[in-house]
Chain A
């Protein structure tokens, strides 16, 4: 069942992934040259875990003594006959349903839009289809839209290559098609759908939005490396130039930005170009140590997310049944000849000679005095 612990471990998973991907994107990490697919598989396993935020039979509860017990008291407090936790789950569920419906509606609208522009014998489309045929990807249809957009690919079951009606050179067109075809061959659309669904479920978690951005960038970087493998250094730079050219063609107006670091992650394209130039200038190497480190990190995060849950500390049921908690809300003393009679929940418990330090907050009444409730 869903508990605070299972939800917390899923949140922790998203936080850890954000930091991990940040590291991978910033460092001259050779993982994009080799082994990134295994890393992506691990990330998808973590995302699937996040989509099932329940405790499994093998889940090990890690009991947290600070903050969580107080949070649990608040969450499990009844409010008009319903626990706050159930109200939170209801709001969560409603938000998720709304987001998923919106996502499905957007997809439907988008594919309806594409159908109107299904290709019909334009020069580029025939040329493009010829290239796709040579690559053995005839199943990918082509749509040209009369607007300034980035070339893209969509369609989980019926793939569609979307091109703007720009005049690309044959070299650029070849790189564009190769890049998009690699996305299709690597099932990147499925990866994107899984992370999008995870975002719909965790709509309230700010880390999921960060995770999505970083994952998409990592996916593009990985794809760039696939496109440029088995090419010489000049062809690698030609591909980099193609990316910049395509971006420039879509620019509507000249915008001068503020002074920010050039290779800041704010500019995904800059990060990708840096990735390519690092390969060309041999700053990025596919070492075994890099592969081992990355795989270990992802396996560790996956293991933690699946096996553990962060639960608030509480006494075991047996202990709770055999013990009572005395506080000023339920206990008081009545002074008698023998000492101090201790009453808990208005029932006599025992007589103490002296009031212990731990019970000094309890009220003390004289015999015959009215007990204040």
Chain B
């Protein structure tokens, strides 16, 4: 997943909050500090990075405009960014996690079984 610049992240945050397609002028109106030209430029960049897609062509007053929607959810972006920063995809961070994620459910089932067996033996020992 490609990195987002601060401006791109700002536009993405607006699209994620809206949860529906928006045209450039609507993005600008939604509390964006950028100007319309920058928004257009950012949207082009986001399409190239495949973070957004053109949802449809709609009327904006008397002119036609593209509406854009997010292709990747905020959670997915955050998950990927976190994985990239914290080490799940190879690069590491100065972070210590409680567990290294176990991906094999069979192992987790076996571990639970082992723990139950030990607890049974403990109960037996106590009696």
Q: Which residues of A pack against B, CB within 8 Å?
A: 102-103, 106-107, 109-110, 113, 145-156, 162, 176, 179-180, 183, 188-189, 192-193, 196, 199, 212, 216-217, 219-220, 233-234, 237, 240-241, 243-244, 246-248, 250-251, 254-257, 262, 267-270, 273, 277, 280-281
Contacts and interface: CB of A to CB of B under 8 A. Distances in A.
Interface residues of B, number: 37
Contacts of B104: 255-257, 267
Interface string B1-18: 001000000000000000
B106 interface: yes
A268 B100 contact: yes
Contact of A256 (B82, B91, B105, B111): B105
Contacts of B119: 234, 237
B72 to A, nearest CB: 13
B94 A156 contact: yes
A245 B67 CA distance: 43
Contact of A257 (B84, B100, B107, B115): B107
Nearest to B100: A268
Contacts of A255: 103-105
A233 B78 contact: no
Contacts of B3: 109
B93 A244 contact: no
A318 to B, nearest CB: 50
B78 A147 contact: yes
Nearest to A109: B85
Chain A to chain B: the 4 pairs with minimum beta-carbon distance, closest first: A110-B85, A257-B104, A154-B95, A152-B97
B31 interface: no
Interface string B83-110: 0111000011111111111111111101
Nearest to A223: B96
Nearest to A243: B99
Contacts of B112: 241, 244
A269 B118 contact: no
A246 B99 contact: yes
B79 interface: yes
A273 B103 contact: no
A270 B93 contact: no
Interface of B: 3, 74-75, 78-79, 81-82, 84-86, 91-108, 110-112, 114-115, 118-119, 121-122
Contacts of A247: 99, 101-102, 108
B38 to A, nearest CB: 21
Given A109-B81, A246-B99, A280-B122, A269 B94 contact: no
A150 B120 CA distance: 29
Contacts of A150: 97-101
Name the residue in B110, B112, B115 with the highest tally of chain A Cβ atoms < 10 Å from its Cβ.
B115
B103 A251 contact: yes
23 contacts: A102-B91, A106-B91, A107-B94, A109-B3, A113-B85, A146-B75, A149-B82, A152-B86, A152-B97, A153-B96, A154-B94, A154-B95, A219-B96, A220-B100, A241-B115, A251-B102, A251-B108, A254-B105, A256-B104, A267-B104, A268-B100, A268-B102, A269-B99
B96 A154 contact: yes
Name the residue in B84, B98, B114 with the highest tally of chain A Cβ atoms < 10 Å from its Cβ.
B98
A138 B85 CA distance: 26
Contacts of A256: 104-106
B107 A262 contact: yes
Nearest to B125: A233
Name the residue in A189, A244, A248, A257 with the highest tally of chain B Cβ atoms < 10 Å from its Cβ.
A244
A251 B93 contact: no
A309 B58 CA distance: 73
B114 A147 contact: no
Given A106-B91, A154-B93, A147 B102 contact: no
Contacts of A152: 86, 95-98
Contacts of A250: 101
A244 B94 contact: no
A212 B104 CA distance: 22
Contacts of B93: 106-107, 110, 154
Given A247-B108, A257-B107, 17 more contacts: A107-B85, A110-B82, A147-B79, A148-B79, A150-B97, A151-B97, A189-B95, A192-B95, A199-B92, A220-B100, A237-B119, A241-B112, A243-B98, A244-B108, A250-B101, A251-B105, A270-B111
